[in-house]
Each structure stands twice: as C-alpha cells, then as structure tokens.
Amino acid sequence: MKTFGARLLAAFAAVLALCGTSPGVSAAGSAAAGGAQFRAKCGICHKAAPSANSIGPTLYGVFGRKAGTAPGYHYSDAIASAGFVWDEERLDAFLKDPRAAAPGTKMSFPGLPDAGQRADLVAFLKSLGPGQP
C-alpha cells in the first residue's frame, strides 16, 4: 500500500538525503516547522533532550531506535513488546493514529490527520539524535 503520505515521505526523505538533516538548511525548513509543531503538540508530554523522560519517553534519538527502549522509561506492553525500529513509516502511522498503530498504547494523543504535518514532525524527530541515517 503506497499512500500519498508514504510517497510524500519518500520524496521528502530523498530531499533530506541530498541536503543533509541539520536544522536551518532548506530541507530542514520542514524540520523547523516540525519543531514548532513538536513544541505545540508533543511538548506537554515529551522532551527532545537525551535522557529527558517525562510523561512520555524522551524522543531524542527516537528515529532508528527500537520502540520502547528509551532508558529508564516505563512503557506500556504495547510499545515495550512492539519489536520494531522507528522509521518513517512506523512514525507516520503512529502519529496518524497512535491507538490503531499500537493498540494498547498509553500515549493519549488523538493523532494527526495531516500528512504534511506528520512529515514535518518526522523530519524534526530525525534531526534529534544518534539514529540519523
């Protein structure tokens, strides 16, 4: 299943690969937009610094990290036993509808229907830490 969102993300990933992922350069215009969204929509529960668990686990380095493995955070079984690594598609699906993508998750977030906003957020999450490609 190749949705429009998935194609958009793939195109976006290609642009990122060409331009690098550091915030501030043009492809990172989206990472910057994602950062603003992160502060508005995720920041109440998540921090982006290393080891900064809060209501939710730190999202520092979440891209490329196995789900449910931020040190010191107590996850639901749904995430702890998910067994996958967070990549573009997993993050996109989870942000679109957390409870559909990970039934039983304790993340109380209704989901983001806008594929462009999700792409921005994923770009921002990619820029955060050691999991960068």
Binding site for ligand HEC (CB under 6 A): 41-42, 44-46, 55-57, 59, 62, 67-68, 70, 75-76, 78-79, 86, 91, 94-95, 105-109, 112, 121
Nearer to ligand HEC, 18 or 57 (CB): 57
Nearer to ligand HEC, 28 or 62 (CB): 62
What own/partner pairs with CB < 8 Å and gap ≥ 24 does 49-54 have?
50/129
- In angstroms, the CA 3 to CA 85 distance is 20
Nearer to ligand HEC, 6 or 106 (CB): 106
Q: How far is the CB of 132 from ligand HEC (least distance, A)?
A: 15
Q: How far is the CB of 23 from ligand HEC (least distance, A)?
A: 16
Q: Are 95 and 27 a contacting pair, CB within 8 Å?
A: no
**CA neighbor of 54 nearest in space, from 39, 43, 68:** 43
Nearer to ligand HEC, 9 or 62 (CB): 62
- In angstroms, the CA 20 to CA 9 distance is 15
